Amino acid sequence: MPATVKICGLSTADTLDAAIGGGASHVGFVFFAPSPRNLALEQAMALAARVPDRVARVGVFVDPDDTLIDAAVAAGRLDALQLHKTAPGRVAAIGARTRLETWAAVAIKTARDLDQVRGFAGAADRILYDAKTPEGATLPGGMGVRFDWALLDGFRHPLPWALSGGLDAGNVAEAIRRTGATLVDVSSGVERAPGTKDPAKIAAFLKAVHG
């Protein structure tokens, strides 16, 4: 069974339509002001209205407060919340309060980074394995960095999981084969410039996954 795909950081109607038309299972809307992919609530509302029910809308946050979550959930009609740099207890509290699916993003560079994954068992619904960004980076992801997929060899995943970090049309098939990922997540790998998605690259990525 082919993996499913989340196209993250969408901000225009044409790129959203390319993701949906190409068979993405999830679309990601970023709510983090420093990101070039950040959406205003009005943008999120307009984009969310274009998403059919068969495609899940995922809001992407970095240790958000309840006010931002509530506004984004309403505007983006969100089905799931992807939480970066958010402690397990906070992830659990957000999930309990919103009653939405929660994804805990865990930044990976070394085997030791996997130790924190077990802390999310019982707190999150899914783990998103992402690549750790360079020291001093202002963004927690979306920088085209990948981690060594061999780190996941033999790892006992405590939760359903997705693979992210440096994926593109050229390497995603190998990533899926190497890790067994059933859900992959791409952002910068389908962009022509930071924050600017490319419909042709989105189509190529989806084709690389689905064949």
What residues are labeled active site?
A: 8, 130
How many residues can be counted in the chain? Answer: 211
At 131 the three-state DSSP class reads strand
3-state class percentages of the chain: helix first, strand second, coil last, to nearest 5 = 35, 25, 40
φ/ψ of 62, rounded to 5, equals: -120, 105
Q: What are the start-end ranges of the E strands in 110-204?
A: 126-131, 161-163, 183-186, 191-193, 196-197
Q: Which residues share a beta bridge with 183?
A: 4
The per-residue DSSP string of 77-108 comes to T-SEEEEES--HHHHHHHHHHH--EEEEEEEE
CA distance linking residue 178 with residue 172, whole number of Å: 10
Q: What are the start-end ranges of the E strands in the chain?
A: 4-7, 26-30, 56-62, 80-84, 101-108, 126-131, 161-163, 183-186, 191-193, 196-197
The CA angle 147-148-149, to the nearest 5 degrees, is: 105
Rg (the chain; Cα; Å): 16
